[in-house]
């Protein structure tokens, strides 16, 4: 029987080598398999296969109560765990009609942006590891550790904190929280120039990244790409501006965009996003009241009224949506998580074909997929 996950050789063509990249390849950031046809070092065909990490969250969640589901949403994009809770919570809050106190909104926003920095740091480290530089990896993970420590002090866990909840956050922040976050921002701003020196300004990196994996504006929109990928192609689409949630309407920030659409532009956009996150957190730290309610009034048994709601947030990888269909009972009728990496990975055939094999690695790391979220 033909293995359904390979591609057939072209009859009469002997110069094409078909090679399986993954699911256990070092550069696939998890369990992606791309079947690649290689002509020398040039890619002639690329067929991605996903699903190696599929757990059918959506079916499991139909058998869980709304409160229990929050801890499952964490497990989608485990690199930016806390961010994944928000679209589901926003959708259920809409259905419940819960009012979120402003302090809770600001705390959520601070955590949300902290996790964006954390996630981008992981991306930066592993992306540079793919390009052959080991040192930035160690630096970024050390910086990320500080965010995780801050999170652990307040939320009780490092990567998958299960901290947001309907109507606010689960518990009040630790007394040191605001001080710690401010200290981290000061520290992080001293580290950013180092990353610029090691990555964006490095001529070797520029040689690898400029003009590689160019994605046009039209293609990016049509393929449903989101996050830094679409913004690097010149589309200023950011859910934080398009449909603001939490405290974002009151905060000022830019959406960094770049027209080139190549790997360098995607790296650049993520770098600038980290700077914008620092700005956002600083504003939020100024605005947030030191004390006050951290959670709105939510009934002990969460039973939204029948209806359906789609809400989206801008996580580190892009547009993460949650479509919640309630039938009025304690259990949801259907939950769909629209994950950004899932849509972004559709670009693999577009971007890989015609590139060199080493470029494919750079392109993949610039797409920054996380497979917990792709396969769900």
Partner 1 sequence: MSRMPLPTERLVQPRLVGYDPTRPKPWLERIAYALFFSALWVMVVLAYGVVPTVFRHYGWLKSPLGFAAYAVIEAVLAFLLAAVVALILIVVLRKYLGKVQERVGPMHYGPAGVFQTVFDALKLLGKEDFAPRRVDWLIFRLAPAIVFVSAFLLMVAIPVAPGWLIADLDVGLLYIVAVSTLGAYGVVLGGLSQGNKWGLLGAFRAGAQLVSYEVPLAIALLSVGVYAGSLRFVDIVEHQYGLWHVVPLFLSFIVYLVASIAELKATPFDLPEAESEIVAGYNTEYSGMSFAFFFLAEFVELFLLPGFMVLLFFGGWHGPLFGLDPTSFAAGLLQSFYFLVKVAVWVWIFLWIRATLPRFRDDQLMDLAWKGLLPLSLVGLLVAALFRMFLEVL
Partner 2 sequence: MSLFAEVWDAVKAVAAGLETVHRRVKQPPATEFYPYKKPEIPPVSVQFLALIQNEDGTDRCVACLQCERVCPSQVITIERKRNPEGKGFVLERFDLDFANCMHCANCVEACPVSAIVTVGEFEHAVYDINFLKADKAFLDHIGHEAKIWYSPKFGVEMRTPEGKIVKAPPEMQPGGLAELLKEAEGGEGA
Partner 3 sequence: MTELRYKKTTEFDEEVYAVHPEDYRALLEALKAEGFDYPRSLTGMDTGYGLRVVVHLYGIESGKKATVFTDVPYDDPVVPSVTDLWPGLEWFEREAFDLVGIRFAGHPDLRRILLEEDWTIHPLQKRYDTGGYPLPDWQPAPWPETPPWEEPQASEEGGEA
The footprint of partner 3 (CB under 8 A) covers 4-5, 50-51, 54, 56, 58-60, 62-63, 94, 221-225, 235, 237, 242-243, 306-310, 312, 319, 321, 323, 325, 327, 333-334, 336, 338, 342-343, 345-346, 375-376
Enter the tokens of residue 31.
Answer: 């369990």
Task: Using CB atoms within 10 Å of the CB of residue 3, give its burial: 0 to 12 exposed, 13 to 18 middle, 19+ buried.
Answer: exposed
Decide: is 10 part of the binding site for partner 1 (CB under 8 A). no
User: How many Å is the maximal CA-CA distance in the chain?
Assistant: 74
Residue from 45, 49, 170, 338 that binds partner 2 (CB under 8 A)?
A: 170
The window from 95-103, 106-114, 150-158, 313-321 that contacts partner 2 (CB under 8 A) reads 150-158
State the CB neighbour count (10 A cutoff) for residue 75: 17
Tell me the C-alpha to C-alpha distance, in Å, between residue 182 and each of 139, 144, 285, 369.
20, 15, 8, 30
**Minimum distance, C-beta of residue 27 to partner 1, in the bound complex (Å):** 4
Residue from 71, 221, 224, 296 that binds partner 2 (CB under 8 A)?
A: 71
Q: How far is CA 283 from the centre of its chain?
A: 23
Conformation bin of residue 225: beta by default, left when phi > 0, alpha when psi is -120 to 50? beta
Site pattern 147..176 for partner 1 (x: CB under 8 A): ------------------------------
Q: List binders of partner 1 among 26-45 (CB under 8 A).
A: 26-27, 38, 40-41
Q: How far is CA 262 from the centre of its chain?
A: 19
Measured between alpha carbons, how far is 196 from 189 in angstroms, rounded to an integer? 11
**Minimum distance, C-beta of residue 212 to partner 1, in the bound complex (Å):** 9
Contact partner at residue 16 from partner 2, partner 3, partner 1, none, CB < 5 to 8 Å by partner kind: none
Decide: is 346 part of the binding site for partner 1 (CB under 8 A). no
Q: What is the dihedral of CA 233, 239, 242, 246, to 10 degrees?
A: -150
Q: Which of helix, strand or coil describes residue 75?
A: coil
Contact partner at residue 41 from partner 2, partner 1, partner 3, none, CB < 5 to 8 Å by partner kind: partner 1
Residue from 89, 131, 225, 335 that binds partner 1 (CB under 8 A)?
A: 131
Measured between alpha carbons, how far is 82 from 91 in angstroms, rounded to an integer? 16
18: enclosing H helix or E strand: strand 17-21
Contact partner at residue 25 from partner 3, partner 1, partner 2, none, CB < 5 to 8 Å by partner kind: partner 1
Residue from 204, 210, 242, 333 that binds partner 1 (CB under 8 A)?
A: 204
Contact partner at residue 303 from partner 3, partner 1, partner 2, none, CB < 5 to 8 Å by partner kind: none
Residue from 47, 159, 185, 198 that binds partner 1 (CB under 8 A)?
A: 198
Decide: is 267 part of the binding site for partner 1 (CB under 8 A). no
Closest alpha carbon to 301 in 262, 328, 333, 274: 328
Q: Which of helix, strand or coil describes residue 262?
A: coil
Task: Determine the angle formed by the axes of helices 263-287 and 102-130, rounding to 10 degrees.
Answer: 150
Measured between alpha carbons, how far is 273 from 292 in angstroms, rounded to an integer? 30
**Minimum distance, C-beta of residue 309 to partner 3, in the bound complex (Å):** 7
Half-sphere exposure of 250 (CA within 13 A, CB side): 15
Contact partner at residue 26 from partner 3, partner 1, partner 2, none, CB < 5 to 8 Å by partner kind: partner 1
Q: List binders of partner 1 among 110-129 (CB under 8 A).
A: 128-129
State the CB neighbour count (10 A cutoff) for residue 306: 12
Task: Determine the angle formed by the axes of helices 135-155 and 102-130, rounding to 10 degrees.
Answer: 160
- Angle of CA points 360, 220, 21, to nearest 5°: 20
Decide: is 291 part of the binding site for partner 2 (CB under 8 A). yes
Q: Which residues bind partner 2 (CB under 8 A)?
A: 64-65, 67-72, 74-75, 135, 139, 142, 145, 152-157, 160, 162, 170-177, 194, 197-198, 201-204, 290-291, 294
Return residues touching partner 1 (CB under 8 A): 17, 19, 25-27, 38, 40-41, 128-135, 138-139, 142, 198, 202, 204-205, 207-208, 356-359, 361
């Amino acid at each position: 029987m033909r293995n359904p996950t390979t591609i057939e050789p072209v009859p009469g063509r002997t110069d094409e080598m078909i090679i399986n990249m993954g699911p256990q390849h070092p550069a696939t950031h998890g369990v992606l398999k791309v079947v690649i046809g290689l002509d020398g070092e040039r890619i002639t065909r690329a067929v991605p296969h996903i699903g190696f990490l599929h757990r059918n969250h959506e079916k499991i969640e139909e058998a869980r109560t709304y409160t229990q589901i929050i801890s499952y949403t964490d497990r989608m994009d485990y690199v930016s765990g806390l961010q994944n809770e928000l679209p589901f919570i926003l959708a259920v809050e809409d259905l419940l009609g819960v009012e979120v106190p402003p302090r809770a909104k600001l705390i959520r926003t601070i955590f949300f942006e902290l996790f964006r920095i954390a996630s981008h740091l992981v991306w930066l480290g592993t992306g540079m590891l793919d390009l052959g530089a080991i040192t930035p990896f160690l630096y970024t993970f050390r910086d990320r550790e500080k965010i995780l420590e801050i999170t652990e002090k307040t939320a009780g866990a490092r990567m998958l904190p299960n901290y947001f909840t309907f109507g606010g956050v689960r518990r009040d922040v630790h007394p040191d929280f605001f001080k710690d976050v401010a200290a981290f921002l000061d520290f992080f701003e001293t580290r950013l120039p180092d990353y610029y020196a090691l990555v964006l300004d490095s001529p070797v990196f520029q040689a690898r990244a400029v003009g590689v994996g160019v994605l046009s504006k039209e293609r990016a929109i049509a393929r449903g790409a989101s996050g830094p990928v679409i913004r690097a192609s010149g589309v200023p689409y950011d859910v934080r501006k398009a449909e603001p949630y939490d405290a974002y309407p009151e905060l000022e920030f830019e959406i960094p965009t770049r027209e080139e659409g190549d790997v360098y532009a995607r790296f650049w956009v993520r770098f600038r996003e980290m700077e914008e996150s620092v700005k956002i957190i600083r504003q939020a730290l100024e605005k947030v009241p030191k004390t006050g309610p951290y959670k709105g009034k939510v009934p002990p048994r969460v039973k939204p009224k029948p209806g359906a709601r789609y809400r989206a947030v801008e996580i580190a990888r892009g547009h993460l949506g949650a479509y919640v269909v309630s039938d009025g009972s304690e259990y949801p009728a259907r939950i769909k998580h629209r994950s950004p990496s899932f849509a972004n990975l559709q670009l693999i055939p577009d971007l890989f074909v015609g590139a060199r094999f080493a470029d494919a690695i750079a392109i993949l790391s610039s797409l920054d997929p996380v497979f917990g979220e792709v396969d769900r």
